[in-house]
Amino acid sequence: MPNGPDHSPLQISFNTSGTERADAARNRRLLLAAAKNLIDHHGAAAVTMEAVAREAGVGKGTVFRRFGNRTGLMLALLDHSESEMQQAYLSGPEPLGPGAPPLDRLLAYGRARLKLTCDHLDILLEAGAATDDFMTHPVGRASTQHVQILLRQLGFADDLDFMSLAVQAPLAAGSVRYLMVEVGLDLETITTQWQDMVTVLATSRGSR
């Protein structure tokens, strides 16, 4: 993510297969789906090159040729997950996508963002994905715009920039790491406390 004149290793483009051959793109999707399935069922620690190859039913060399190493695989998976999430909140089904009340959409966004952050926590921390980096990265800007639209619909106006930062800060990799490692909270507790906070903020603004 950009941070002044330098850039971290994390470069999310949302265009990971546009120039790939059809078979290469298909193999990439197969491998990324295998990695995501491992995360969903066994956690990020279960994602090794060998495990992904086994899950996808291909040789280990195929995974190494496609991604180079585990970091390359995890960065590609993060890129893919971010792209899927953006599509979900822009045009996916409710409550994350359009159609649901703004508070429901905001809470759904927070749940999805926290899960993505937790799933990719190690690689996000390695990539320097702190709160300030995320907010200035194109992915962060798109997410912030989405959050601000929902906050505006909830009645926030002059304090929109401040409130969008307050809402998103607990969702960032550094915050999640602190809450999990230093405080000892699990993802379910973090999600519940974040939702309670946002609901109180939205309700108090609506009662003015």
Question: Which domains are present in the chain?
Answer: 14-76 (1.10.10.60), 101-208 (no CATH)
- How far, in Å, are 56, 115, 197, 201 from residue 166 at the CA level? 40, 18, 10, 10
Q: Estimate to the nearest angstrom the gap between the alpha carbon of 51 and the chain centroid.
A: 23
Model confidence pLDDT, tens digit, residues 34-85: 988 888 888 777 888 999 999 989 888 888 988 898 888 888 888 888 888 9
Is the four-CA dihedral 194, 197, 200, 206 of positive or negative sign?
negative
Round the average pLDDT of the chain to a whole number and report it: 83
Q: Which residues pair with 3 in a beta bridge?
A: 6
Is the four-CA dihedral 192, 198, 200, 202 of positive or negative sign?
negative
Model confidence pLDDT, tens digit, residues 121-169: 877 876 655 555 666 666 778 889 999 999 999 999 888 999 999 999 9
pLDDT, residue 129, reads 52
